[in-house]
């Protein structure tokens, strides 16, 4: 899908006939979402720029994510999509020239849709492709901050489940197992999402300083303050990301500790039970020996006496373990 935008008197508006190469020449922003071969050809004819492929956008080295080629600035970064339901990482690409901004994405990204919805009300005078790019980067950072705030709230709830509710106090090993498994999954999902957000921040953190360094070629003076503020926001979010990562590791260690306690309790019960079973086995072994001369062999109350002795030898150790607090 191809959507193009042109600069109006007070705001940015959608460009009609976006598939016409002649009309695309007037666009300040060309957004390509899962583009077809015909759409790619139309954009390349209108701008004279060879667009990167999906494989090119997925490259992880800095020299492949940020570079200048024939007067155009090529940028790419990972971006988290569907963070609220099923987090995935999509590679987003930008091609910036003095006349155009071209964005390329192969997965749906809600940030783009929300940004496009706000464009008619933005009242951007003398907008350029760089204004659009800076606005998109600001939207990405805002979204990362919102997700981190949500992760913080979820981790606070999980912390209360671990330390206030204490899952090992639940009745029954099965309930303990289910609760600890649920806590472990929650902490794991939070850690995975934080890792993906860190990748997005790293991508934006590479782009912003580069844009400021190339200010003579690409950056209007009115955007310098916005990029400086954006860099400060990224630095603060990186610090907060480190805090969340530490908290996730702490909660993970605590959860694994409770799992270890639950397992030790089970093994303790097995150990004590096996020890308590030794005396009755010994009694039964004595009276099970095949000797003719056994004093109780002809005794009328020999069998009840043996049963009583076996029961007593079982109860006494259990009572002793209970009194010592081992059960």
Q: Is the pLDDT of residue 218 over 60?
A: no
pLDDT at 260 over 60: yes
- pLDDT tens-digit series, residues 74-133: 888 888 877 677 777 888 888 888 778 888 888 878 888 788 777 766 655 557 778 888
pLDDT at position 186 is 85
Distance CA 150, CA 46 (A): 42
Predicted confidence at residue 120, as pLDDT, reads: 62
- pLDDT of the residue at 198: 87
**Count of CB atoms situated within 10 Å of the CB of 61:** 7
DSSP state of 298: T
Any idea what DSSP says for residue 290? -
The answer to whether 63 touches 170, Cβ cutoff 8 Å, is no
- pLDDT of 34 > 80? The answer is yes
List the beta strands (DSSP E) in the chain. 2-7, 12-14, 29-33, 66-69, 72-81, 88-96, 101-105
Q: CA–CA separation, 35 vs 168, rounded Å?
A: 53
Distance CA 259, CA 206 (A): 41
Question: Would you state the pLDDT for residue 110?
Answer: 81
Fold exhibited by the domain 2-265: Beta Polymerase; domain 2 (3.30.460)
C-alpha angle with apex 102: 209 to 77, nearest 5 degrees?
A: 45
Q: What is the pLDDT of residues 160-183, one digit of tens each?
A: 887 776 655 555 566 677 777 888
Q: Which residues pair with 3 in a beta bridge?
A: 31
Rg (CA), the chain: 34
Q: What is the mean pLDDT of residues 206-225?
A: 73
CB contact at 8 A, 52 and 44 = no
Question: Is 205 or 43 the better-scoring residue by pLDDT?
Answer: 205
Domain ranges of the chain: 2-265, 277-323
Q: Are 265 and 271 in contact (CB under 8 A)?
A: no
* Residue 120 DSSP code: G
């Amino acid at each position: 899908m191809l959507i193009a935008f042109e600069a109006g008197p007070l705001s940015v508006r959608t460009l009609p006939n976006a598939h016409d190469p002649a009309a695309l020449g007037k666009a300040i922003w060309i957004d390509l979402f899962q583009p077809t071969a015909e759409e790619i050809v139309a954009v390349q004819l209108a701008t004279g720029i060879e667009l990167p492929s999906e494989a090119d956008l997925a490259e992880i080295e800095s020299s492949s994510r940020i570079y200048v080629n024939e007067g155009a600035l090529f940028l790419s970064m990972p971006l988290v999509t569907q963070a609220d339901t099923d987090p995935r990482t999509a590679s987003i690409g930008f091609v910036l020239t003095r006349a155009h901004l071209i964005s390329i994405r192969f997965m749906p990204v809600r940030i783009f849709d929300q940004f496009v919805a706000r464009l008619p009300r933005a009242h951007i005078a003398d907008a350029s492709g760089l204004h659009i790019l800076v606005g998109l980067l600001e939207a990405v950072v805002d979204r990362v901050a919102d997700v981190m705030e949500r992760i913080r709230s979820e981790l606070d709830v999980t912390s209360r489940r671990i330390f206030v509710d204490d899952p090992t106090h639940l009745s029954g090993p099965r309930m303990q197992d289910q609760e600890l498994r649920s806590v472990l999954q929650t902490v794991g999902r939070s850690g995975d999402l934080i890792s993906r957000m860190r990748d997005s921040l790293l991508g934006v953190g590479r782009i912003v300083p580069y844009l400021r360094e190339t200010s003579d070629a690409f950056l209007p003076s009115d955007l310098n303050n916005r990029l400086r503020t954006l860099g400060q926001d990224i630095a603060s979010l990186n610090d907060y990301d480190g805090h969340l990562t530490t908290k996730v590791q702490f909660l993970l260690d605590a959860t694994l500790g409770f799992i270890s306690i639950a397992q030790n309790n089970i093994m303790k019960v097995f150990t004590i039970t096996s020890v308590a079973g030794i005396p009755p086995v010994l009694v039964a072994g004595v009276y099970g020996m095949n000797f003719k001369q056994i004093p109780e062999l002809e005794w009328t109350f020999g069998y009840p006496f043996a049963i009583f002795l076996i029961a007593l030898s079982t109860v006494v150790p259990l009572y002793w373990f209970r009194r010592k607090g081992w059960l």
